[in-house]
Homo-oligomer: A and B are copies of this chain.
Amino acid sequence: MAPEPMVSIGFIAKRTGNAVSLIRYYANEGLIPSVRTNGGNRAFPRSVIRRVSFILIAQNMGYSLAEIKSLLSTLPDNRTPTQADWAKLSTVFNQHIEAKIAALTSLKTSLEGCIGCGCLSLDRCRLYNTDDKVAARGSGAQLLDENVQSQFLVSHKK
């Protein structure tokens, strides 16, 4: 197979709509592969554009760079990903998207039946209080941590 054309960091930046500093940052973090020219500049296979696109999409979905790195680890670093490589990643990722959709749908239902109803007898509100489900094993509510938050992908918390 013909070797993939190598491109500069500026090309990747322009094509993905990002700053050069971001591409360099991703390269340093090991999120995208690169080689060096004789002079020491980075050179990327064109397919890195696709990889960056994936990173941006996953970030928008709430994944941290660490999680994305892990997701991307199914792609090979030492050669351009093949159709099968991307398909494999895609299958996994699709499941994450579906899980997110399911979580949002469930949240929507909850909100419609709870906040939406305006049930201010707080002791009965499922969002506020899950005594009916967890009282037996604790002292109160904490529904968010246990039921809702875990269905999402990212917590933004340390």
A interface, CB within 8 angstroms of B: 14-17, 46-47, 49-50, 53-54, 56-57, 59-62, 80-87, 89-91, 93-94, 97-98, 100-101, 104-105, 107-108, 111-112, 115-120, 122, 125, 127-129, 139-146, 148-149, 152, 154-156
A-B contact pairs, 25 of them (CB 8 A): A14-B139, A15-B142, A16-B141, A16-B142, A17-B142, A17-B144, A47-B120, A49-B122, A49-B129, A50-B125, A56-B144, A56-B148, A59-B156, A61-B104, A82-B120, A83-B117, A83-B118, A86-B118, A86-B120, A90-B112, A97-B104, A98-B108, A101-B101, A101-B104, A104-B104
